[in-house]
Amino acid sequence: MSRKKGLAIITLLLIVLGIITYFHWINNVYPLDVAIGELIRAKSCSYASRMRAYVYKAYTIIRRYKGNPAWIFQTSETSFEAIKNDLYYLNTRLNQLTVLRLSNKMEAYNQGLNDARLSIDAVIDALTKTKYWVLFNPLYTAILIAFLMAIILVVINMREPKVIRIAREM
């Protein structure tokens, strides 16, 4: 195989791999980044009602994910069902805090907000761990390995055979 043809094949493979990676990121990983961003915004809120709105946005974003993305070494921390349950109950607690604020029990309200922030931290950590499992799911990992093997094969075929090199040196 000529050098130009080999480089053209490698370039084409890399472009296709880049397109696959882009769509995989946009459809599967980026929504988790958005949900994490909503939860970070929720942490900075000083009112339970605003915090609840951000938590609800994060919940609606991750609602479409199911199961456990960790295909090896699964834990309950990387389970989407557990994360969705945490967000659902956090939303319920924040709703109760809104009622508590209206009854002027500010000390309990502030303590509840701090507890909600700690819960949000735990959910952010869990979503961050699941994000990397979603990125390297079995199908994408197989595609990545296949493309890398194809590139290596093209590089090996681009080299000149030893017999021709020895003959040229004589």
Query: Which pLDDT score, from 0 to 100, does residue 5 have?
Result: 85
Residue 150: exposure state from Cβ atoms within 10 A (0-12, 13-18, ≥19): middle
**Low-confidence residues of the chain, pLDDT below 50?**
none
Average pLDDT, the chain: 88
Query: Which pLDDT score, from 0 to 100, does residue 103 have?
Result: 78
Query: Which pLDDT score, from 0 to 100, does residue 6 have?
Result: 84
Query: Which pLDDT score, from 0 to 100, does residue 77 have?
Result: 87
What tokens does 102 get?
């209206």
In the three-class reduction of DSSP (H, G, I as helix; E, B as strand; rest coil), residue 43 is classed as helix
Q: State the Cα torsion 56-57-63-64 to the nearest 10°.
A: 170
- Domain 22-147 class? mainly alpha
Q: Give the global pTM.
A: 0.81
Closest by CA position to 77, among listed 132, 129, 119 = 129
Per-domain residue ranges of the chain: 22-147
Angle between helices 30-43 and 48-62 in degrees, nearest 10: 170
